[in-house]
Amino acid sequence: GAVVSQHPSWVICKSGTSVKIECRSLDFQATTMFWYRQFPKQSLMLMATSNEGSKATYEQGVEKDKFLINHASLTLSTLTVTSAHPEDSSFYICSAKWTSSLLTYTGELFFGEGSRLTVL
């Protein structure tokens, strides 16, 4: 299956600093990637849809100036948490959909390994 790699796996930073998380599709081109946030024992909350070559589409309640998303190429999307605060501590997961013409492809999402952010 398609592989999505996310980096870093975990990061600890001081309050007020910015953190960048990378999401790469390793063996396919992803015109669309999705960024999710997950709190402990809760489900995935869609933050934004990242489209290659255009601005990301943010979900209601997600601050676009706080969570900067860049999708500069067909294999890379980045999420930057700006001026991070302790309440931004969470598990961030990216996912991508493989654009395939195969009749057997269901369109399922392929997820990165996730990045656990801890803001002190």
Partner 1 sequence: GQNIDQPTEMTATEGAIVQINCTYQTSGFNGLFWYQQHAGEAPTFLSYNVLDGLEEKGRFSSFLSRSKGYSYLLLKELQMKDSASYLCAVRDEGTYKYIFGTGTRLKVLA
**Is omega for the bond preceding 40 within 30 degrees of 0, making it cis?**
no
Strand 76-81's sheet: what is its strand order?
Answer: 4-7, 19-25, 76-81, 67-73
Taking contact as CB under 8 A, which single stretch among the options 14-22, 33-41, 63-71, 80-88 is the one that binds partner 1?
33-41
Taking contact as CB under 8 A, which single stretch among the options 15-23, 66-74, 81-89, 101-109 is the one that binds partner 1?
101-109
Q: Which is nearer to partner 1, 82 or 89 (CB)?
A: 89
- CA end-to-end span of the chain: 37
Taking contact as CB under 8 A, which single stretch among the options 20-28, 32-40, 64-72, 82-90 is the one that binds partner 1?
32-40
Give me the half-sphere count of Cα atoms (radius 13 Å) on the Cβ side of residue 115. Answer: 26
DSSP 59: P
DSSP 85: -
| Residue from the set 7, 29, 108, 118 that interacts with partner 1 by CB under 8 A | 108
Residues 36 to 95 in contact with partner 1, rule: CB under 8 A:
36, 41-46, 49, 91, 93, 95
Footprint on this chain of partner 1 (rule: CB under 8 A)? 1, 6, 32, 34, 36, 41-46, 49, 91, 93, 95, 97, 106-114, 116
